[in-house]
Each structure stands twice: as C-alpha cells, then as structure tokens.
Amino acid sequence: MYQSLFPSEDYDSAYDIDFYDYYKKGYRGILFDVDNTLVEHDEPVTIQAIELFEQLKEIGFKTCIISNNKEYRVKPLADALESYYVYNAKKPSAKGYIEGMKRIGTTNKDTLFVGDQIFTDILGANKAKIHSILVKPIAKHEEIQIVLKRRLEYFVIKRYNKLKRTL
C-alpha cells in the first residue's frame, strides 16, 4: 500500500545530492519541483539554485522544472535557471512528468526527479516510473494545507525509514 508513496532515495537537500554519481550511472535528465525543493515557497531564485543548475549543465544534464503553480510563478524561475519547465503539472498525475521528459529528450530510465512532498511529487514520479528522490523542505513555515499534508507524510516517512533500515 505504501510502496507507491516511497521515494527511491532520500537526502536532506537537493543541494546535497552527488549528481556526478548519477551521471556516471547513466542518468541524463533531472526533473525538479521548485517550492521548498530549490527555493522557499513564493521566493525568487537564489544564487545557490543558479550555481546548482550551472553545475548540472557542466556535468551534461538536461533539466526541467515540474510545478503545479501557474506559469507566472514557474517561468521566471526556469528562465533564471536556464531550464525547461512544465507549469500546472497536476501532480501527482504522471502527465507533467512525461511532458517534462519529452521536453528534455529523456525517458523514465535515464531521468531523476527531486521533490519535497510525498503525496504530490514522489507519488507522481513513481506513477511515471522515474527514480524519485525525496528531500526535506527548505522552509520551516508553510501554508496550512501543506502543514496538514506534512502530518500525514510523517506516517509514510516513518514507515519508509523503518523499511530502509531493514534493507
């Protein structure tokens, strides 16, 4: 029951991931959530995010932002990061992830997804059969609907961590 909610892996931050290692393993595309994954909710792009995306390009990755937000939120971030984007992705539907892969010319076999929410980001990536990476949210203060989701996520993460320890 929980398996579709479990990430393939987890990290503290998108900025802690060894993307060189993933490139060596054959991955060529990365889909990213934006809010609380790369930047705080409703905040502009940061120098840290720009530097990460420059590094990803140097490695050889193609990138795409996948967001449920409207275009006016996603496009400026994607432009600053020189990345493709899909707005109004309707996560956890696989549709936005598939569109993102189409835009960067990758498949579910050579694409990673990085996001901070289980019920939208990870579930959607898993539906699209993409290697999913869960990161902890950047911001400590979130909107009430996200806070409520986080309480439910707690039980899934607890179960995931228990399973991870037994492997």
109-167 per-position pLDDT tens digit: 999 999 999 989 999 999 999 999 999 999 766 565 666 666 667 776 777 667 766 65
Instruction: List pLDDT tens digits, range 63-92.
Output: 999 999 999 999 999 999 999 999 999 999
82 φ/ψ sector (left φ>0, alpha ψ -120 to 50, else beta)? left
> 89: closest CA among 107, 69, 117?
69
Widest Cα–Cα separation across the chain: 44
pLDDT at res. 59? 98
Name the pairing type of β-strands 9-11 and 62-66: unpaired
> Looking at domain 3-166, which of 3.30.870.10, 3.40.50.10860, 3.30.10.20, 3.40.50.1000 is its CATH number?
3.40.50.1000
Buried b (16+ CB within 10 A) or exposed e, 99-127: bbbebbebebebbbbbbbbbebbbbbbbb
